Amino acid sequence: MNLYFHHTAIGRIGIVEDNGSITNLFFETDAVPQNVEMCETDLIKEAFRQLDAFLAGELKTFSLPLAPRGTEFMRAVWKILCGVPYGNTASYKEIAIAAGNSKAARAVGMANNKNPIPLFIPCHRIIGTDGKPVGYRGGLDVKRKLLELEKHHASV
């Protein structure tokens, strides 16, 4: 596993590559595993290039090999999250319904919380049923900034 940190428009971000796929993204406040090599691979460079373009409003869809680790339900939720279009939001309940269980909104929230690749898997687009941003590993300020950025650039 290789990890490299880069300063972005939303703070210092770390990206992990393992076996040719992006497996983790770390915000400044996240605990980072000790069993990784600090090395910027070509894939990590490309991931940061795409992330910087996304944060500048120039890229709306990532094209990276992703390999998030989680339960079958978590992976199903993350796949649904990737289908929420740029500039749009969905509620936890809407994602639960799309996952086949309208009563699983809390489980969807937990899957969001455990998303190892936020931004690339856009869990920031998931909001409360009242339309307000709730919970985000990178912090609510970052979530609001991402939602505002996407709303601004969605029609461009």
Q: Which of 123, 126, 142, 146 is catalytic?
A: 123
**Once rounded to an integer, what is the mean pLDDT over residues 17-36?**
91
Please write the tens of the pLDDT for every residue from 112-121.
999 999 999 9
Fold type of domain 72-153: Arc Repressor Mutant, subunit A (1.10.10)
Would residue 39 show up in a list of annotated catalytic residues for this protein?
no
Say whether pTM exceeds 0.85: yes
Dihedral over Cα of 28, 51, 135, 106: its sign: negative
Q: How far is CA 133 from CA 2, 31, 87, 96, 146, in A?
A: 32, 23, 14, 17, 11
Which residues are bridge partners to 15 per DSSP?
Answer: 4, 25
Say which range, 14-23, 68-77, 136-145, has the weakest mean pLDDT. Answer: 136-145
Please write the tens of the pLDDT for every residue from 47-100.
999 999 999 999 999 999 999 999 999 999 999 999 999 999 999 999 999 999
- The domains of the chain are located at 2-55, 72-153
Helix count (H) and strand count (E) of the chain?
5, 6
**C-alpha span between 74 and 104 (Å, rounded):** 12
> What's the DSSP call for residue 42?
H
